[in-house]
Amino acid sequence: MKGQHWISLGSLALALVAAQQPAFAQSSDTGGGEVREDRRDIRGDRRDLLGDRRDFRQDVRSGAGPGQLAKDRRDIGQDRRDLRKDHRDLRHDRQDRREDRRDLQHDVAGRRGHGR
């Protein structure tokens, strides 16, 4: 009876581990999600920058005061800084992906030569 108990417990544990494998595979991030997120951020920053530039031009045409124009300029400056930061993040994430790919290629090449 004790032997059957351990076999049942072992098969239950194995089933639970096997059921988790697809979840582990789906949650592993190869870096593509980070790049997509950076691109989405860049698109959003560009939209913000265009909107703030449009607001600035409209305020200039309508004769807005210097305080409003200064605020519009600050908003445009912040949008430019955000855009530069997101471009920098994108370059960094792409570089990380290239390095990860090189490491993987190196590991695979090492395994091929190891069996000889």
pLDDT in tens, 77-93: 999 999 999 999 988 88
Residue 103 in domain: yes
Residue 86 in domain: yes
Q: Domain range holding 56? A: 31-114
Cα atoms in the 13 Å half-sphere on the side-chain side of 9: 6
Residue 93 in domain: yes
Which of 29, 31, 40, 27 is CA-nearest to residue 92?
31
Residue 21 in domain: no
Largest CA distance in the chain: 91
Q: Which two tokens stand for residue 115?
A: 């069996």
Residue 53 in domain: yes
Residue 18 in domain: no
At 43 the pLDDT is 93
At 65 the pLDDT is 95
At 86 the pLDDT is 92
* Number of compact structural domains in the chain: 1
Which of 92, 96, 100, 86 is CA-nearest to residue 37?
86
Can you tell me the distance from the alpha carbon of 88 to that of 41, in angstroms, rounded to the nearest whole number? Answer: 12
Per-residue pLDDT tens over the stretch 17-46: 666 665 444 444 555 678 889 889 999 999
Residue 15 in domain: no
- pTM beyond 0.85: the answer is no
The alpha helices in the chain, defined as continuous H runs, are 2-27, 32-62, 66-114
